Every structure is written in C-alpha cells, then in structure tokens.
Chain A
C-alpha cells in the first residue's frame, strides 16, 4: 500500500517513449562518431554494426586537421558567431532597456515594429544586402558574414520581456544612489538578468555557427569559411569519398557547441523559463 509509486504504468510508458525519442536523436551523432574511427569500407556492408571492426584511432582526425583546414573553419566559426553575439548584445540590451523601462512618445509603435521585424526572414533582404556589400567591396570578408545579424530583433524582444520583470524600485534606488543610466543597465540590471543573456547567447551562437545560407552567399575563400560551409565544400570536392575524414571533421566542428551547451545548460533552461519564451 505504502510503496512509493515508482513504477506506475503511465510513467513507464512515458519513459519508454522518451528513451525511444532520445535514441532517435542520438543515433546520427553516434553514426558520425563511430564512422570517424573505422574504415570507410565498413559503411557499405549490408548489416549495421555498433562497434568498429577495424579501429582507425585518430587517423582521420589527423587528416581532418592536416589535409582539410578544419581548425581554420573552427576559428572562423568562433570569430563570426562570437563577433555577431557581442555586437548583438551591445545593441539589443540598451534598446530593450529603453523599451522596457522608459516612457517616451512612440515607444509602443517602436515595439510593434520590433515584433513585426521578427517575421522577416534573412532570405528577404538577402539580395539588397548582397548588392550593398558588393558596392562597398566588402564581399568575402568577416564583416560581410556578420553585418546582417548585428541588430537582432529577437534579442530586443527577449531582453525587453526580461527587463520588464526587473523591479522598478531597484532601478530607482540606483538612481538615488547616483548611478548613471548606463551604469544602472550594465552593472545592476544585466547582472540580474544573466540567465536570459545566457539563453540568448546559446540561441545566437548555435544559429550562426550552424548557418549555411548567408556564408554561402558572401564567403568565397577557404580561409574565411565557417564550419558548415567548409563541411559542405569539402564533402563534394577533394575528399568527397573520404567519409572517415569528413565525419572526423564534423565531430570536431560540432564539439564546441555540444560542450558549450552542456556547460551552460542550467542557465539556458532557467533563462528560457524565466522569460516565458517557451
């Protein structure tokens, strides 16, 4: 009678479903990793094997770093998604603060505009952006790869929602204590909203690390390629048949995001639930 309800049928069922879904999501990653450490011949045998028959160790990883510039792609990924994130935070946080906490004429209209902009995909302004960048000779630069994303309406929206819940009385206390509005924003409000900043950072970095469309439009040289662009480029050129090296490269290029997410997971989830954007 008093046994803890640990094995209720409903719970068992939901765990079975969750385990199945987890398997479905994890399986491609498993194939990626296992392919990077076995000989490509094993890919084409009729039955699937869980473990490599001939373990190739780090051979393909060394190839990926030596023959394909995987580390360059990694560096480009860090520079571009990092650069985008920093400018996004620097621009969106003050905008969001003004929209959340100041009263001025036209504020609601501006916010409506922000909401409206959320619905515009990057493909829509891509052509004029490309033409403009071409006109100033900026095609095939880091700048071109980053500039369309410097202003993030999603960030403005997200931070506005967060800042609105920040207590007015603390801001007023800071004004009485003699802080400037900038100091209040960066040393009082933002430190109080870090989970939300972390959540947005993960959204942004993931989106731009994995973005293929825009780098494909503006990046030409191998030196500037981002991880997905590099992967796509090398998949159908020189090492097209070298699945081992390709999978090793893919593993290297997805690893930073996976590790980053695992480390920031708690903040991330708190930020999402806190802002109510769920």
Chain B
C-alpha cells in the first residue's frame, strides 16, 4: 500500500509568472514528507499538480516508478485533505465520508439517493461501505457525529471528518494542504500528534504542506524547504536545523530566528575573530543556543545592549542588539541570569569555531572551505 513518489523537474507557470521552477523530489515509501515555506512560494500549487487537479507546465510525476501524468485525479490513488476541509455542506458526515467509496464501488444507478439502495445486487457493497465509513469515523473519533451536517461541527471536528474521508479510501498517498491552519493553537498541537500517530498507524506515504516550520519539524521524517518556487533543501529536521545549506533555510527554520552578522562587523567588535574568519566578507550565523551570556572556553566576547527578555518558564529568550543595530538572541536557563533593565549594556560570548558561514549569495560555506581560506591567510 505504501508508495514512492517521484517528482522530476516539475515547473508551472501562470501566464508570465513562473510559480514552480524545476522542482525535483523523491519521496520514499511510507515517508512523512513536509513541504514548508513562506506563503505564496508554490506549495499548494505543487500539491495540486501532484493530485492531478492542475496540469504542470513541465516535468513528470511517478508513483512506484509508473508515470501518472496522464491520469485524472480520481485514478491516481491519492487522497487530499484541504485547508478549508472542503466537506460537502449539504451532506451528512456519513455521506461525506462515504462519497469516495460510493463513487468507486457502486454503479451509477445504485448511487441515487434513497432508491439507490433498491438497485439489485449491491447489498454487500452497500454494507461494505457502511462498515468502512464507521471504521474510518472511529479511527478519528467522530463516530457520534455521523448524522450531523458539517455546519453543526466545530473546526476540529470538521478536520477529523476531512481526515476520515481521506482514510476511508486507503489511498497509497495522502496529501495535506495546511490542514491545521484554521484551528486554534491548542487544538493544533493535539491534531499534530494525532496526524503523526495516524501516519504511523496507516504506514502510507504522507505529503504534508505547511507554512509553520514548527509543524514541519515536529511531524516529519524529512522536510523540503521551498522558497520562490524552488526546493532549497530537503533533509531531516535535525539536518535542516543544524546544517542548513542556504541562508534562507537557516533563517526560516528555528525560532527565534538565527542571528546573522557580517564578518566585518564581527571583527570590528572583537579582533579575535579575524584569524578564524575568511578574508572575503561573509555572513556568520549563530543559533540562539550558541550565544552565551557568560564567559566560556573558545568563545569571544562582544558588547551588546539588552532589548527584551521573554520568559518561557524553564528558560529565557534574551534579545540583544549590537552597536550597529544587528540583532542577536540567546537562550539561557532561568535563574542563571539576573533580570536586567532594558537598554542595559552587557556582554555576549560567541563561539570562535563551529559557526555557520554563508557567502554573499546566501550559500553555505562549509568547514573545509574555511580552512582553505584560513591557510591562505
């Protein structure tokens, strides 16, 4: 039932504007793959192309090695959960969930409302569908609401109905387009865990679109970061966080945002950075946990002013500003730092090695590269 999905060089243009550029992605069987990126970067467009709801301008899609570009949406064995849930408003929950099965299993006359049940020879199919609907509803815990209409359900319940309608078909691939974005923050966290559990239970291939990097990072096996119609990096959440290949990825993943300081500024603040940085101007990036507020070995001190402190219970987020206005944030255990007034001057200690370097185009300069520069100098 699980399937590998392969996207090769997908491009899409709406008139003059190119929305997708040469997107290639290999999704492994049973994988939970997230597409994450800012609004308008083309995530939904890519998902609709995958589902067959819109044609691509170029490129091919295959599932388990078989091309599916010529297949209509219903023949691709793909189910989709939409951002707006897209339930049929005039049908009950039961009818909503049953629709994909009725369309697939029953001949047209047997689908007629009411009298369809009288069409001969379909009894076992009708019973099979009824049972499948109940099973799917039970899986997402909406069995008591089967006879209500979508209008009489809360947002979270509608979301579950939409999930049940996708599950009931047992498709090879699930597509989800920002399924949690209309829920309140608390419910979103619950549903996140439930969808992840559902994925483990069904074992199907999931492609999950979101603009929320936390969602992508917490649920996925791998995350593909999209920017301006391109996949910038596709890797495991840990890889994306610790080893971003592009400055845009580094900035998008992780909260608070990674701090970026030009090498010139850093050297001006503390000459000790000069030997460890390349001679050409580069951008140096520090995750909040790399920034310390007390002296440590292999760290260099720079002066900063305190902008604001966010209390997160066990830890603090400390937002700092350098002389030139560059922002820096640090994570610190609560209680270790005396609470200080805004605008107060203090010192931050930045690591003198193991930081991330990016060139002027935002591309990552990795460690060997740095050594090369250092040797030359």
Contact = CB atoms under 8 A, between A and B. Distances in A.
A167 B84 contact: yes
Contact of B100 (A167, A169, A170, A178): A178
Interface in B4-37: none
Given A167-B84, A177-B74, A172 B48 contact: yes
Contacts of B89: 170, 192
Given A167-B86, A170-B86, A170-B87, A178 B80 contact: no
B103 A175 contact: no
Q: Chain B interface: which size bin? A: 20 to 34
A276 interface: no
Nearest 5 interchain pairs by C-beta? A178-B103, A178-B74, A169-B86, A173-B86, A177-B100
Contact of B82 (A169, A178, A179, A192): A169
B48 A176 contact: no
A174 interface: yes
A71 B82 CA distance: 54
A188 B113 CA distance: 13
B88 A176 contact: no
A177 B86 contact: no
Contacts, number: 54
A10 interface: no
Interface of A: 167, 169-170, 172-179, 188, 191-192
A170 B88 CA distance: 7
A contact patch SS: helix
B73 interface: yes
Given A167-B84, A169-B83, A169-B84, A175 B90 contact: no
A178 B99 CA distance: 9
A177 to B, nearest CB: 4
B268 interface: no
B44 to A, nearest CB: 10
A176 B83 contact: no
A167 B79 CA distance: 18
Nearest to A177: B100
Nearest to B99: A177
Contacts of B88: 170, 173-174, 188
Interface in B73-121: 73-74, 78-80, 82-84, 86-90, 99-100, 103-104
A176 B51 contact: yes
Of the candidates A169, A179, A191, the one having the most CB atoms from chain B within 10 angstroms of its own CB is A169
A175 B99 CA distance: 11
B53 interface: yes
A176 B87 CA distance: 12
Contacts of B48: 172
Nearest to B103: A178
B72 interface: yes
B228 to A, nearest CB: 24
